[in-house]
Structure 1
Amino acid sequence: MLWELVATVFAGLGAAGIALMLRKLSAQKLPRYLVPVFAGLGMLGFQIHSEYNWYSHQLSLLPQGVVVVKAVEEKISWRPWTFLKPQITRFMALDVKNSAANSKNPELVLANLYLFERRQAAINVKLVVHCPSKQRANFTEQLVLPAEGEMPGAEFMAIAADEDALLQVCTTQKNV
């Protein structure tokens, strides 16, 4: 975040420098207020650019085998440009490549789910997917894993229709 602040300041300084050059080329006939206007527009433009490029940049950093499960687009009132094109502010990614089936119950698959949000550190959630019932639960020490052929308990919740990508771990699993 510090580097983003530094880059924003430099974008403003660069835009102000362009305005100063334009004033000099016009023999100071352009108004003085053009310099801070250009600086503000430069900083705002840089921020908008970085907001919309954040998602694609994060995707480029994901290793092979990690797939996006869900991306959340938002329209934010204090960012009126998001009403024209909603901005992706957070997303969930699943490590399909390194998922593993439980050795005692192959219907259960353990996988890492990563939660990304703009200007926040990524969060890693250990996830257990019960493939036959299409249910999931966060893996904790208190989680009671069902035996093979049993239905999972109340800790498990149904996988939402917009999170169907979670079921990819059911087809690409290794035994652990």
Structure 2
Amino acid sequence: MLWELIATLVAGLGAAGIALAIRFISRKKAPRWLIPVFAGLGMLSFQVQSEYNWYSHQAGLLPEGLEVVRTVEQQTFWRPWSYLYPQTLRFIAADIANAAPNQRNEAIWLVDLYFFERRLSAKKVVQVVHCQQHARADFTTQLAIPAPGEAISADWYQLEQNDPLLLALCQRQKV
């Protein structure tokens, strides 16, 4: 975040420098208020650009085997441009490459989910996914793993059949 602050200040100084150049070229006929306006617009433009590029930059840094399974786009009133083009400020990636099948029931997979949010550290949550019953559960020592054909308990959350986590993980099982 410190580097982003420094980059924002540098963008403001650079834009103010452009305004100074305009005043120099116009032999000081351009108004003086142009300098702070350019500085503010430069800093605001840099922040907007960095907010919109955050997701693609972070997703590009993910190691091979991690797949983005969900993105969260946000619109806020203090960012009116987000109503035209919503910003992706959070996403979830699943470690598909290192997912492991359960030895008791091969339709159940253990997978690490990573939660990314702008300006926060990534969080890791271990999940258990049941491919046949389209469900997921938080991995705990108290979680009852059903045998093949057995019904799941209330600790499990139902998933849609087209849920990206379910599709990414269960497609791997069939390969």
Give the TM-score range, shorter chain.
over 0.9
Q: Which amino acid aligns with 1:71?
A: T
Distance 2:58 2:39 in 1: 28
The offset of 1:152, in angstroms, is 1.5
Q: Which amino acid aligns with 2:37?
A: V
The offset of 1:163, in angstroms, is 2.9
Q: Greater RCO between the two (CA within 8 Å, min separation 6)?
A: 1
Distance 1:39 1:88 in 2: 26
Q: In the alignment, what sits opposite 2:144?
A: 144
The offset of 1:28, in angstroms, is 0.8
Distance 1:172 1:162 in 2: 15
Q: In the alignment, what sits opposite 1:45?
A: 45
Deviates more, 1:146-155 or 1:44-53: 146-155
Q: Which amino acid aligns with 1:46?
A: F
Q: How many residues align?
A: 174
Check conservation: 2:134, 2:161, Cα contact below 8 A.
no
RMSD: 1.6
The offset of 1:97, in angstroms, is 1.1
Residue 96 of structure 2 is aligned to residue 102 of structure 1:
no
The offset of 1:161, in angstroms, is 5.6
The offset of 1:70, in angstroms, is 1.1
Distance 2:45 2:162 in 1: 33
Q: In the alignment, what sits opposite 1:19?
A: 19
Check conservation: 2:134, 2:166, Cα contact below 8 A.
no
Percent of aligned positions that are identical: 55
Deviates more, 1:161-170 or 1:102-111: 161-170
Instruction: Show CA shifts across 1:85-123 (max 9, x none).
Output: 111111111111111101122121001111111111111
Instruction: Quickly say closer, same or farther: Cα 1:162–1:74, change in 2 above 3 A.
Output: farther
Gaps of at least 5 residues in structure 1 are: none
Gaps of at least 5 residues in structure 2 are: none
Map 1:116-131 onto structure 2 (within 5 A).
116-131=116-131
Distance 1:22 1:98 in 2: 56
Instruction: Quickly say closer, same or farther: Cα 1:25–1:162, change in 2 above 3 A.
Output: farther
Secondary structure at the aligned position of 1:172 is classed as: helix
Map 1:38-117 onto structure 2 (within 5 A).
38-117=38-117
Instruction: Quickly say closer, same or farther: Cα 1:161–1:78, change in 2 above 3 A.
Output: farther
Q: Calculate the TM-score normalised by the size of structure 2.
A: 0.93
Distance 2:161 2:5 in 1: 38
The offset of 1:144, in angstroms, is 2.0
Distance 1:116 1:166 in 2: 19
Instruction: Quickly say closer, same or farther: Cα 1:122–1:162, change in 2 above 3 A.
Output: farther
Secondary structure at the aligned position of 1:126 is classed as: strand
Q: Which amino acid aligns with 2:143?
A: L
